[in-house]
Structure 1
Amino acid sequence: MSPKNLRCLPLAAAAMVVCMSAQAEYTVADGKLRLSGFGTVGVSRTNTDQALFNTPGQGGGADRSASFAPDTKLGLQGTYKLTDTISATAQLLTKYRATGEYTPQVEWAFAKWQATPSTTLRVGRIGAPFFMVSDFRDVGYANTPVRPPLDVYGQVPMNSVDGGDVSYQANFGGATLTSTLWGGQTKVKYAAALRNNGTDMDPILVKVRNQVGLNFQAEFDGGYTLRLGHMQGKLSTEASSLSALRSGLSGVLAGGLGADPQALANQLLSEINTTGQKATFTGLGASMDRDNIVLAAEYTWRTVNKGTQSNTAGWYALGGYRFGAVLPYVVVSRLRVESLNANLNPQAAVLGAAYVGAQGFVNSGKVAQNTLSAGARWDFRSGMALKAQFDHISKPAGSNGQFLIPDASTASGQDFFNNKKKVNVLSLALDFVF
């Protein structure tokens, strides 16, 4: 990872904060083009050097040395109105990626047709609507805490999907009900608790094809919101180390080493099959923002038919109270592993490095942890908020939690995985919109 790449975005975002006005967006004179942006300059540090704290999937993070990587980002968005009912929207987001660099990426690029006052169609790259705050999970200013709770939001690394959706909105008394049918495919690089020879990152390429989802959201007078969503698709994961492992096992099969090793190799190949597995994700959410009280909660569960990805369930509950421009809050959350899809035969240990490699992929799906967070948000001027947050994360023995282990094969990496650990994280963030 280049130090220049590490420093570039935080400095650019800080300069943006200094130069921008309090105006939240810019619209050209004819009203057809609207430009806006958002960003966060955030820094975090922990009380351990055994593992890196980050947004799951990033190729780096924070330890005892403070890091900008987990939260710092900069986004620009533009919408052009082609006709009274047709528009085009694009969003460019730069944040710390799986490759260990700040890289710009097109998060949104879609055309929208307001077919009727109640019906909307979008086609292109749209936000992946897995969660209650999916459309603004990267907009720190729009979220109460420094980041959406990772015990829930870390279960799915995809922020966008290439496809489309159709939404229908209806009013019933004091409620607005929106139903959305969406579908498409997506792929994203994800840095797991793996290294190539203990030195270079080996990002996993995660693909989900044939996605189909249905969401319902009800907004009530008084600041209440309810949401239910479900999706299913075909999940595939690929990495160079996984390909090398499969090649090695195929060599065992072709090497004439006897019936038992070949049978064991066949079992391992079957267990680590990560191509075209049926995957589902379901979420329930509720929030309230009324007077000075802010409440939110979500419960989600992920299932995968087979492979090294685990079946998980996560939940969080958030509560806060405004005192003028200051909003203190607490968050309690939990991520648990419901079941592991891959069950390796201990007898396969005779295969040596192949078994160890397969076990490493299985262990990367062991992510259980609990988190208690407390923080405060200060909206000190229009379009800007300063936040401070303390997270106390507990993970059980036999789990990586949501952390990135710098090298899972080292004594330090094994110690972190095999034993209970409590990690404290301190974060400061300046969020802004313009």
Structure 2
Amino acid sequence: MAALVFVPAAGQAASWQDWQFNGFGTLGGVYHHEDGIEYRRDVTQPHGAQSGKLDLSTDSSLGGQLSGPLTDKLSATLQLVSKLNDSNNWNPRPTWAFLKYQFEGDSSVRVGRLLLDLQMRSDSNGIGYANTPIRPALEMYGNIRPEVYDGVDVTLVRPLGQGLGRFKLMAGDLYGDLTLAPGAVLDMRHKPFISGYLEYQQGPWTGRFSARHLAMGDATGAAELREVLRQAGAADAAAVLDSANQTINFYGLGVAYDEGNLQGSAQYSVWGYNTRLGGPDTHSLLLESSYRLGDLQPYVAASWAWSKRDYVATGLAADNPLNQVALAVQQGFFSNQFSFTLGSRYELTPQLAVKAQVDYLDVKDPIVLLETAPSPSRRRFNVYSLSLDFVF
């Protein structure tokens, strides 16, 4: 990070008076009454909102950003964010720490610590005030993590026909752990990836095609479990649980509309596991819309995630307890869940907004949610959320 300060000036010198500090944060509360479920906003959180308890950690965060020019073309940004992280604490972490070189127009290259550009209608993933709903749809965005990485991104923007074309390429090493189930943590630190998208905007319409390729890590205790299965003669089941050094391919399509008071988008994505872990592909679909009525902005969304429940049998005797262990691990990678969201955002001031949101969930195989007590049947329940978002 010292490079952000001690960079030799090149070209026209920039004034330190042009540097700016901005802050942002969210105070959020989540409540639900579904026993055996901890509700999370994404898979980096080690725990979530428990049944019957008001939770203030799921959506709350506080961040600060320092940015400014070093020359007429070169700038630096440092952003620290405190939120519930994968280490189960609130220690501030750098989510941005990069140098940016600006070409003509909106084209640029950035090097350092960066965030994946995930959301189609917002490039400010962690700033609640910059987004309409309290949190991104779990079924579409909750498992696309970690989003912090060390590397580079390149953005090229050019006029194309009557619209504007944009190409963005991101590459580097991911930073963070993912909690897949209670006690099961997937180590994604220093896992390489490459990601990018092609986008075309004309008038109120925007279309995007995105792709991502990343390496997987290994889950807590997976190596020991694989060895036990191999020794028991269940080589196929052991291979299913071998995620280390395997890869995932992601593809997405989306279209968005934004004109006047009306905004909306339709997005589809598919995850393809290049390993037997998790079985078939996981598909996601998101439909969302909002409408501004002065300072009030009601919104609605529906999102799905689905995959086939294809299991690989261990081949062991029916009463062998390893069968249930292997089954539970495989099931943790299936996703069959639906959410319907109703909410509203109210702009109190140009720097302060309050939001209220209700989510109805229909869950067969939970995605993002932590299931602390398995249910023999589908889960159907509501989640109630309030948030106060601010910038300064």
Q: Which residue of 1 aligns with 2:11?
A: none
- Cα distance in 2 for partners of 1:307, 1:164 equals 31
Offset of residue 362 of structure 1: 0.9
**In the TM superposition, what is the alpha-carbon distance from 1:29 to its structure 2 partner?**
7.7
Provide the residue aligned with 1:220 in structure 2.
Answer: 202
For the 8 Å contact 1:130–1:283, the answer to whether it is kept is no
**Deviation (angstroms), 1:346:** 4.6
Cα separation, 1, equivalents of 2:90 and 2:35: 22
State the Cα distance separating 1:38 from its structure 2 match: 1.5
Indicate if the aligned counterparts of 1:300 and 1:314 stay in contact, CA closer than 8 A: yes
2:241 aligned with 1:272: yes
- Once the 2 structures are TM-superposed, how far is the Cα of residue 385 of structure 1 from its aligned partner? 0.9
Residue 267 of structure 1 aligns to a residue whose secondary structure is: helix
Q: Which has the higher helix share?
A: 1
**Coordinate RMSD, CA, aligned:** 2.3
Tell me, yes or no, if structure 1 residue 371 matches structure 2 residue 358. Answer: no
- 1:235 and 2:222 equivalent? no
Q: Which residue of 2 aligns with 1:107?
A: 95
Q: Which residue of 2 aligns with 1:12?
A: none
Runs of 4+ in 1 over 4 A off after TM superposition: none
Report what 2:270 is aligned to: 301
CA contact (8 A) 1:369 1:402 kept: no
Write the distance in 2 (CA, Å) between the matches of 1:344 and 1:99: 32
Partner of 2:7: none
Letter in 2 for 1:216: L
Candidates 287, 303, 317, aligned match of 1:317: 287
Partner amino acid, structure 2, of 1:151: E
- Alpha carbons 1:206, 1:238 under 8 Å: kept: no
Corresponding residue for residue 150 of structure 2: 162
Instruction: Write out per-residue CA displacement over residues 309-338 of structure 1, whole angstroms, 9 at most, x where no aligned residue.
Output: 452111111122222111111111111115
Contact 1:213-1:232 at 8 Å conserved across structures = yes
User: Compared with structure 1, are the counterparts of its residues 175 and 37 closer, same or farther at alpha carbon in structure 2 (3 Å cutoff)?
Assistant: farther
CA distance in 2, matches of 1:133, 1:78: 24
The alpha-carbon distance between structure 1 residues 349 and 92, as it changes in their structure 2 partners (threshold 3 A), is farther
Q: Post-superposition shift, 1:378?
A: 0.4
Which digits, 9 at most, give the CA deviation of each residue in 1:251-301, with x for residues without a partner?
Answer: x2xxxxxxxx43x2x222211111221211112222222111121222111
Question: Which of 204-213 and 72-81 deviates more?
Answer: 204-213
Residue 203 of structure 1 corresponds to which residue in structure 2?
A: 185
Take 1:109 and 1:405, find their aligned partners in 2: how far apart are those partners? 35
Query: CA offsets, 1:155-174, max 9 Å, x none?
Result: 31221222112221112465
Aligned-pair identity in percent equals 26
Is 1:381–2:339 an aligned residue pair? no
Residue in structure 2 matched with residue 425 of structure 1 by the alignment: 383
Cα gap change, 1:316/1:300 in structure 2, threshold over 3 Å: closer, same or farther? same
Tell me whether 346-355 or 29-38 shows the greater mean CA deviation.
346-355
* Distance in structure 1 (CA, Å) of the matches to 2:300 and 2:273: 32
SS in 2 for 1:157: coil
The residue identity in structure 2 corresponding to 1:236 is: G
Is the 8 Å Cα contact of residues 328 and 375 (structure 1) preserved in structure 2?
yes
Q: Aligned to 2:93, what secondary structure does the other structure show?
A: strand
Match of 1:400 among 351, 366, 379: 366
- In structure 2, what residue type is equivalent to 1:423? F
CA contact (8 A) 1:208 1:235 kept: no
* TM-aligned CA distance change 1:108 to 1:338, over 3 Å: farther
Q: Which amino acid aligns with 2:145?
A: P
Distance across 2 between alignment mates of 1:120 and 1:328: 35
Aligned counterparts of 2:257 and 2:122: Cα–Cα separation in 1: 17
State how 1:40-55 maps to structure 2 within 5 Å: 40-55=26-41
Secondary structure of the structure 2 residue equivalent to 1:243: helix
Equivalent of 1:347 in 315, 319, 328: 315
Helix, strand or coil for the counterpart of 2:211?
strand
What's the secondary structure of 1:245's corresponding residue?
A: helix
The CA distance in 2 between the partners of 1:208 and 1:331, in whole Å, is 34
Which residue of structure 2 lines up, in the alignment, with residue 146 of structure 1? Answer: 134
8 Å contact from structure 2 (residues 227, 238) kept in 1 = no
**Cα separation, 2, equivalents of 1:338 and 1:386:** 39
Deviations 1:3-59 (A, max 9, x none): xxxxxxxxxxxxxxxxxxxxxxxxx98443121121111001012122111113212
Output the CA distance in 2 between the equivalents of 1:208 and 1:235: 10
Q: Structure 2 vs 1, CA of residues 103 and 192 (structure 1 numbering), >3 Å: closer, same or farther?
A: farther
| Structure 2 residue 303 is the aligned partner of structure 1 residue 337 | no
Show the counterpart of 2:8: none
Matched AA of 1:80: G
2:58 matched to which residue of 1?
A: 70
Cα deviation, 1:226-265, whole Å, max 9, x if unaligned, reads: 22211113222331x2233134345x2xxxxxxxx43x2x
Structure 1 residues 132 and 349: alpha-carbon distance in aligned structure 2, compared to 1, 3 A threshold: farther
TM-score by length of 1: 0.80
Q: TM-score, normalised to structure 2's length?
A: 0.89
Letter of the structure 2 residue corresponding to residue 41 of structure 1: L
For 1:424, give the aligned amino acid. Answer: N
The correspondence for 1:59, drawn from 42, 46, 55, is 46
Q: Which amino acid aligns with 2:254?
A: G
Judging changes above 3 Å, is the alpha-carbon distance between structure 1 residues 224 and 68 closer, same or farther for their aligned structure 2 residues?
Answer: same
Q: Which residue does 1:17 correspond to in 2?
A: none
Q: Aligned letter for 1:284?
A: L
Structure 2: give runs of 5+ residues left out of the alignment: 1-13
